[in-house]
């Protein structure tokens, strides 16, 4: 039952974003909510992930391990006079792989959406994403800039079992597919479809 619900929610968001556009007349159309909007401090929460602490702990663990490997390899290379040519290449390779892996982990970590709040103007959302310091960073996004990735999109979605890729203000972000994280199941698909929300 859970899997069926998950697929249904993912399908709703996918179908909505299939028809989204970055600019043009469609982006100016208003979505009229069927239910009253509740704002607290000028925000109405649409999506809230419960995975931040788990993801942050994973990120810290990976970062610590990467730091240790970097230190170990750099220490070995410092005494390069005692290393053979193959040994030097080996530790340089480890450093290169570590730096590349850490950069990839950091990039993916910062793309994960933690929270999406509709602002009281109905034209912008406030998103929260993790930062490299283990906290969250907030950014206001114009709803009209939200769209789906256009390059090899279906193949990308198939590879991403747990997250839904979305473009916000020309930046790739990841929305977790867990339906329990969707606070407002009516408005989130509309926002993902780049529709402004009528709040009056």
| pLDDT per position as a tens digit, 92-127 | 887 788 878 778 778 788 888 999 999 999 999 999
Residue 19 has a pLDDT of 43
Residue 196 pLDDT: 92
CA of 15: how far to CAs of 10, 18, 43, 56, 71, in Å?
9, 5, 26, 31, 48
Out of 15-19, 75-79, 196-200, the most confident range is 196-200
pLDDT at site 93 = 82
Q: What is the mean pLDDT of residues 71-77?
A: 76
Q: Is the pLDDT of residue 10 over 60?
A: no
Sorted by where each begins, the domain ranges of the chain are 2-50+114-197, 55-109
Q: What percent of the chain has pLDDT over 70?
A: 78
Rounded to an integer, the average pLDDT of 45-55 is 84
What does the angle CA 108 – CA 64 – CA 86 come to, to the nearest 5 degrees? 95
Band of residue 157 on the pLDDT scale cut at 50, 70, 90 = low
**Which residues are paired to 117 by β-bridges?**
45, 126
Res 51: pLDDT: 79
- What is the band of 152 on the pLDDT scale with cuts at 50, 70, 90? low
pLDDT band at residue 26, thresholds of 50, 70 and 90? very low
pTM recorded for the entire structure: 0.70
Question: Residues 109, 171, 158, CA angle at the centre, nearest 5°?
Answer: 70
Judged against a pLDDT cut of 50, whether residue 16 lies above it is answered with no
> How far from chain centre, in Å, is Cα 64?
22
CA distance 28 to 143: 10
């Amino acid at each position: 039952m859970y899997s069926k619900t998950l697929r249904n929610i993912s399908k709703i968001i996918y179908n909505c974003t299939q028809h989204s556009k970055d600019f043009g007349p469609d982006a100016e159309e208003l979505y009229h909510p069927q239910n009253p909007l509740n704002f607290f401090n000028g925000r109405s929460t649409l999506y809230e992930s419960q995975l931040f602490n788990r993801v942050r702990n994973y990120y810290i663990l990976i970062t610590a391990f990467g730091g240790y490997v970097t230190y170990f390899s750099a220490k070995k290379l410092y005494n390069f006079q005692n290393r053979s040519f193959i040994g030097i290449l080996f530790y340089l390779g480890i450093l290169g792989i570590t730096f590349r892996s850490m950069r990839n982990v950091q990039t993916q970590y910062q793309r994960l959406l933690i929270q999406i709040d509709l602002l009281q103007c109905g034209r912008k959302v406030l998103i929260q994403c993790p930062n490299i310091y283990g906290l969250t960073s907030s950014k206001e996004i114009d709803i009209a800039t939200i769209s789906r990735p256009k390059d090899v999109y279906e193949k990308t979605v198939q590879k991403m079992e747990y997250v839904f890729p979305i473009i916000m203000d020309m930046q790739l972000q990841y929305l977790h597919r867990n339906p329990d994280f969707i606070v407002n199941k009516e408005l989130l698909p509309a926002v993902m479809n780049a529709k402004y929300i009528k709040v009056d």
